[in-house]
Amino acid sequence: MEKAHILNVLKETKKAIHNKDVIKLKALSNQTIHSASVEQEEFSIAIAVIVYSLGKIIENYQKYPDWEIFLKQSIVQIEKATRFLEKDNINKFKENILAIEKLIDKFTGNFKTHIQQVFEKAKINKASRIYEHGISMEKTANLLGITVFELAEYAGKTGISDVNLSITLPIEKRIKYVNDIFK
């Protein structure tokens, strides 16, 4: 886990939530998922899922009276996690990050159901982004606690699995390229 990067993401996430900046939250999630793909570290991935989910909640669920309470409680956990990470208390940091998703249990009714769905869809979405980075489908599914089937279904719908990474230049262009190098 890259401490400086995670601290920056958490601080920027807090600002973005206050500003209701959905675009910034998605960008922060994508930055985190890129580094998480390299390190394959579960808490970076958890942060990417949480940040993305918070953006979706702001974007789609303001009609529910509990949405602001959920975000305020999430900010409290982000602040605690930030302080613990700054003090290198990794166990308490992880505890507070994971507590954000557990906040869902405090709510009832449609809001709770919708927020649970947001987090589940976010896991699948972020899994597809990790898979895009070349991590195996099985490893990616295990990192995010989803099934290979869920990931394969999503990747199939988005076309991620259709990307041909072995496409190269035609032979004529490769020969010209090599000739230009040695001139």
Q: Which residue has the tokens 């998922």?
A: 33
Structure-block tokens of residue 144: 């995010």
Average pLDDT estimate for 81-100 = 93
pLDDT tens across 111-144, in order?
A: 999 999 999 898 888 888 888 777 778 877 777 7
What's the pLDDT score for residue 178? Answer: 67
* The total number of residues written for the chain in this structure: 183
Please, what is the average pLDDT of the chain? Answer: 83
How far apart CA 123 and CA 110 sit, in angstroms, is 20
pLDDT digits (tens, 9 = 90+) for 142-152: 777 788 878 78
* 26 confidence band (pLDDT: 50, 70, 90): very high
pLDDT score at 163: 42
Q: What is the pLDDT of residues 69-79, one digit of tens each?
A: 999 999 999 99
The pLDDT of residue 133: 75
pLDDT score recorded for residue 10: 95
Q: List pLDDT tens digits, range 56-69.
A: 999 999 899 898 99
AA identity, residue 10: L
**pLDDT of the residue at 158:** 58
Tell me how far apart the alpha carbons of residues 102 and 96 are, in angstroms, rounded to a whole number: 10
Res. 18: pLDDT tops 80? yes
Threshold 0.75, pTM exceeds: yes
Tokens standing for 86? 């700054």
Helix axes 42-60 and 109-132, enclosed angle (nearest 10): 130
Give the model's pLDDT for residue 160.
46
First-to-last C-alpha distance (Å) of the chain:
46
> Distance from CA of residue 87 to its chain's centroid?
24
Is the CB of residue 135 less than 8 Å from the CB of residue 37?
yes
3-state secondary structure of 64: coil
Using the Cα atoms of residue 118, residue 45, residue 18 and residue 71 in order, give the sign of their dihedral.
Answer: positive
